[in-house]
Amino acid sequence: MDVQALYALRDVAGVPTHPVVFLILGVVTWALHIAAVQVMLGASALTLWGALSQDTQRRRLAQSMLPVSKFMLSLAVFLGVAPLLFVQVIYDPFWYTSNVLSAWWVIGFIIILTVAALLNMFFYNQNHDLGKTRKTVCPGSLLMSIALLLVVGFIMHVLTYQMLLPEQWMSWYAPNGHIDASGQTLHAYSLSRFLFFISLSAPVVGAVLVGYQRYYRPRLDDETANMTAEYLDWVGQLGMKLITFGGVVSVGFGAWWMLSLPENMTFFAGSIWMWISLVSMLLFVAFAQWVRGKMNTGWAYAVLPVGALLLIILAIAKEALRWGILYGVHGYDAMDYTINMDWYSTIMFFVTFLVIGGLVMTYITLVAWHAGQTNGVYTPTEGITKIGRYALWSIVLFMVQFFGIGFYVWLR
């Protein structure tokens, strides 16, 4: 497609700050989103695996993973908004065209996601005591929820993949010269690419389990925690197996993806980012194996942040592929987007994200961490309580300025 036609599809209002800011934020927020997705899928699969078993340890793990699954589903939806916003700002000619070509599925995405979340919530509400009973109520609801979530993920994969193929847009919109404006077709996908990112849920949730077994070690004597050394040892070994096996499977799907790249994407198969990604995945698995003999030490916690670093590297590589296609193949340069600087919205975004979000997440993380490490009732220290107060006041101040600015503009 002529690059001038792509430029003509841009938003004439331009962007409120330099495009590189949106590019970086898109990578960071997508990494956070995909991490939540992979933990959610892994935790859901472990919950279903345990719920369908009579084994005591599996059911105990299922009871622990069930609230993780529910929480991560909410977090994945919440975090999924940001990368979509950043993509549509600097890649709007591609993103909106892809959405219009498959509009029926874009709308269906919301409906399917809602049903999947409701099914997950139904299973959660019916099965609070998986570890204490041998009966599982309606496991099919969780199975259907996982299946629908995979459908939702596949829809998003297709929309993202279609935007990389502008040379095929006209043939999809008017096949054989006949216009098809129904938006009912998913036109292009890469099964290997989709399975690669889905398969990463195995090593990611494995890293969660390694940290989980270390986290509860201090509470082996606490009857309310219902933890035993035998159970935690089993969880740790299961986590290591998921990291090893899942890592090998992910590398296999990644190799399939590279070998099946279409002609205009083959440049990526031998690129530096492909090799960095491969080496990073292998190093992650190797690091986890090194930690295997140190499961009762603080090194067990390090597996998860190392895995998070891997996801950031993969997010950068994914963006490098997109940039290489849209700029290198089609000549579209997102960096020359017209800038109409809006200092207020830019500053407020970073203040909200870093200051308010930082205070709130710091408080929640500290309370959750210390509560899980404490036998009996946990009482926050004065220092942690102060952080909570600062977080609360930061939210109040944000709301005051938000409505204040709104009324000021309205009354002018």
Give the mean pLDDT of the chain.
93
Residues 6+ apart with CB under 8 A from 268: 258, 261, 274, 320, 321, 324
Q: Are residues 322 and 394 in the same domain?
A: no
Residue 33: the pLDDT is 95
Residue 1: the pLDDT is 67
- State pLDDT tens for residues 270-302: 899 999 999 999 999 999 999 998 998 989 999
Helix (H) or strand (E) holding 365: helix 357-373
- 311, 341, 371 - which closes a domain: 341
User: What is the Cα–Cα distance from 234 to 410, expressed in whole angstroms?
Assistant: 61
Helix (H) or strand (E) holding 218: none
Residue 377: the pLDDT is 80
- 341, 369, 398 - which closes a domain: 341
Of 20-24, 28-32, 287-291, 375-379, where does mean pLDDT reach its minimum? 375-379
Query: Within 10 Å of residue 170's Cβ, how many Cβ atoms?
Result: 10
Residue 131: the pLDDT is 81
pLDDT level of residue 51 (50, 70, 90 thresholds)? very high
- 309, 341, 373 - which closes a domain: 341
**Mean pLDDT score, 112-141:** 92
Of 79-83, 109-113, 128-132, where does mean pLDDT reach its minimum? 128-132
Q: Are residues 265 and 179 in the same domain?
A: yes
- In the block, tokens 């292009």 appear at 188
Q: Are residues 268 and 372 in the same domain?
A: no
Q: Are residues 262 and 367 in the same domain?
A: no
Q: Are residues 379 and 359 in the same domain?
A: yes
Cβ–Cβ under 8 Å, residues 283 and 247: no
Residue 218: the pLDDT is 82
Beta bridge partners of 53: none
Q: Are residues 234 and 186 in the same domain?
A: yes
Q: Are residues 336 and 347 in the same domain?
A: no
User: What is the Cα–Cα distance from 331 to 170, expressed in whole angstroms?
Assistant: 18
- State pLDDT tens for residues 189-231: 999 999 999 999 999 999 999 999 999 888 777 666 678 889 9
Residue 345: the pLDDT is 87
Q: Are residues 160 and 305 in the same domain?
A: yes
- State pLDDT tens for residues 298-336: 899 999 999 999 999 999 999 999 999 999 999 999 999
DSSP 374: S
Of 33-37, 154-158, 159-163, 181-185, where does mean pLDDT reach its minimum? 181-185
**% the chain with pLDDT above 90:** 80
Q: Are residues 326 and 256 in the same domain?
A: yes
Domain holding 402, by residue range, is: 342-412
Domain count, the chain: 2
Residue 225: the pLDDT is 66
DSSP 219-242: GTT-GGGT--HHHHHHHHHHHHHH
Residue 326: the pLDDT is 94
Q: Are residues 295 and 358 in the same domain?
A: no
* Region for residue 97 given its phi and psi (left: phi exceeds 0; alpha: psi -120 to 50; beta: otherwise): alpha
Q: Are residues 116 and 210 in the same domain?
A: yes
- State pLDDT tens for residues 341-387: 999 889 998 998 899 999 999 999 999 888 877 777 888 999 999 99
Q: Are residues 41 and 52 in the same domain?
A: yes
Residue 266: the pLDDT is 94
pLDDT level of residue 125 (50, 70, 90 thresholds)? very high
- In the block, tokens 């204040």 appear at 404
User: What is the Cα–Cα distance from 309 to 307, expressed in whole angstroms?
Assistant: 5
